[in-house]
Amino acid sequence: MAAWQQFSTVWLALIIATTIVSGMSNCPDETVGLSCDNLNDRSEWGVCTVRGDPHINTLDGKEWRYFGHCEYILSEFCEDNDNDFQITADFDPRAKNPSQTYAASVTLKIGGDTFTIGVGGANPAIGTYTTVENGYIVYVFANAANTKLYIRVTLNDEDIVRISYREKFHLIEIHFDYGTHYDQVCGLCGVWDGKESNDLKTKSNKPRSSKTKSTGSRKRRGLPHNTSHQEFGIAWKLNEDCVEPDIPQNP
């Protein structure tokens, strides 16, 4: 075989090896070809991050901090009272400074199934995938070094949500597909509508759907845009029975 033919064969093999299915490309074939952070068109994706103690960057780019000690709704469909789709995070106190917290895990609830990644690993186990209601497929996997865990949701072979957790930085990253989530989701990750000014806002006049032992039919308050970080965080607390300690105001 001529040298140019050998080069062409090797080059083609490299292209095949770095192609990831379902809209993911240009990344190593790690763990059944799913450990790729490079979404095809970043302009079509919204990103929310939770990191450190914790700092939260909303889908519209607003940064704020909250030292809550409970489980909180990061994002859910604003008009979906059945919680068919919900992403939550568990904030735990830091050992050396209990007044501050960190994101210990992130959980996706979709179609009656629950998927969690965080400190201690993943549930269900890494390398599994599940078909849930309405045709969604959920993958749980890790990068080659096992330093970053992922939950990936596809519908009709298209990625619609990608969640990752990196324990070293207590970093949660959530990527939302524009077509299925823009102007649809609310939570600590904000109201994704291109406006930072209304991000610290809860559902207005929508019943709170929760499987906790809370009494009465409490409704989410439509809080004003100058709501304190503490008020906003508490409004998105998943379990109303979880007791909040004294939290610094607007840290």
Q: What is the mean pLDDT of each run of 10 residues along the chain (251 residues)?
A: 43 28 34 46 80 93 91 89 84 87 95 93 90 90 88 90 94 94 93 90 45 32 55 88 68 48
48's CB contacts (< 8 A; 6+ apart) are 56, 57, 58, 59, 74, 75, 173, 174, 176, 189, 190
> What distance in Å separates the CA atoms of residue 6 and residue 12, rounded to the nearest whole number?
10
Cα 170 from Cα 147, distance rounded (Å): 11
Cis (ω within 30 of 0) for the bond into 248? Answer: no
Q: What is the DSSP letter of 237?
A: B
Read off the pTM: 0.76
Helices (H), the chain: 3-17, 178-181, 229-235
What pLDDT does 81 receive? Answer: 56
C-alpha distances (whole Å) from 57 to each of 35, 46, 61, 66, 147 are 23, 11, 6, 11, 22
Residue 238 · residue 77 · CB < 8 Å: no
- Give one word for 191, left, alpha or beta, with left for phi > 0 and alpha for psi -120 to 50: beta
Amino acid occupying residue 148? K
The token duo for 30 is 């790690």
Give CA separation, 35 vs 23, 129, 142, 146, 148, in Å.
13, 14, 6, 10, 9
Q: What single letter denotes the amino acid at residue 168?
A: K
Chain-centroid distance of CA 41 in Å reads: 18
Q: Tell me the chain's radius of gyration from C-alpha atoms.
A: 20
pLDDT at 50: 97
**In this structure, which amino acid lies at residue 88?**
T
pLDDT at residue 149 in the model: 94
Say what the pLDDT of residue 245 is: 66
